[in-house]
């Protein structure tokens, strides 16, 4: 499935800033959505496409840092770039510690902002890809019985059939049957391939 086009969210209570950043990002081909508040952002956030959030630190009601925490709680994939008209080193440090891509003071250089947006989108794409691999693995493992998952975990740990049988208090023949079923479900022909199937997130 092809990747959805990225989107830039511009969150600032100053309409002039929203317009200026919107014009900048649209001039290089980005889709964008302007939001006057954090609540507006959270209500319209699309977590299925690569995204960057250009987020003002000082917003009416809920602050930018609080919005950042809420985005993390929701598992948002968007990279965050903070902008502020008030130099505030402690807030910048806190934002960066919580995963912000950068913290830019207004007025910022257009090219620097575009470069940071590119960085944020790369991080967002990586997060989306990781989520996709995790979901694929969860679907794979969801097709297994509880006993098959137990056997698989011990196979991955490098246990022999005899050791697995002793640990699970079943016969070695039963372990072999479970391994055969696991390989059939995975569509592989060796234990090495089975382990790769269950652990290789790039698959």
How would you write the pLDDT of the chain (203 residues) with one tens digit per residue? 456 899 999 999 999 999 999 999 999 999 999 999 999 999 999 999 999 999 998 888 888 889 999 999 998 999 999 988 776 666 777 777 777 888 888 888 999 999 999 999 999 999 998 888 778 777 777 788 889 889 988 998 989 989 999 999 999 999 999 988 888 888 888 888 888 888 764 44
DSSP annotation of 158: T
* Residue 202: predicted pLDDT: 42
- The helix/strand/coil state of 71 is helix
Please check whether residue 57 is in contact with residue 86, taking contact to mean a CB–CB distance below 8 angstroms: yes
Q: Which helix (H) or strand (E) holds 169?
A: none
From CA 102, how far away is CA 113, in angstroms rounded? 9
Q: Which domains does the chain have, with CATH numbers?
A: 7-134 (3.40.50.2300), 143-199 (1.10.10.10)
* Residue 91: predicted pLDDT: 73
C-alpha to C-alpha distances, 78 to 116, 168, 172, nearest whole angstrom:
13, 43, 49
From CA 76, how far away is CA 94, in angstroms rounded? 18
* Residue 98: predicted pLDDT: 73
Burial class of 29 by CB neighbour count within 10 A (0 to 12, 13 to 18, 19+): exposed
Please check whether residue 83 is in contact with residue 65, taking contact to mean a CB–CB distance below 8 angstroms: no
* Residue 7: predicted pLDDT: 96
**Residue 42 C-beta-side C-alpha neighbours within 13 Å:** 16
Nearest to 41 by CA among 83, 5, 3, 13: 13
Nearest to 4 by CA among 120, 137, 124: 124
């Amino acid at each position: 499935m092809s990747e959805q086009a990225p989107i830039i969210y511009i969150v600032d209570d100053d309409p002039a800033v929203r317009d200026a950043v919107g014009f900048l990002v649209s001039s290089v081909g980005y889709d964008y959505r302007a939001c006057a508040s954090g609540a507006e952002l959270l209500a319209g956030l699309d977590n299925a496409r690569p995204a960057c959030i250009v987020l003002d630190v000082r917003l009416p009601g809920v602050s930018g840092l609080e919005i950042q925490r809420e985005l993390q709680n929701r598992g948002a994939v968007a990279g965050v770039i903070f902008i502020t008209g008030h130099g505030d080193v402690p807030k910048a440090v806190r934002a960066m510690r919580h995963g912000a891509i950068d913290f830019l003071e207004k007025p910022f250089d257009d090219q620097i902002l575009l470069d940071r947006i590119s960085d944020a989108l790369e991080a967002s794409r990586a997060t989306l890809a990781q989520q996709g691999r995790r979901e694929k693995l969860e679907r794979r493992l969801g097709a297994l019985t509880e006993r098959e998952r137990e056997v698989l975990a011990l196979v991955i740990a490098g246990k022999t059939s005899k050791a697995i049988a002793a640990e699970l208090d079943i016969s070695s023949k039963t372990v072999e049957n479970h391994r055969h079923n696991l390989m059939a479900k995975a569509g592989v022909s060796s234990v090495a391939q089975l382990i790769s199937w269950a652990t290789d997130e790039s698959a």
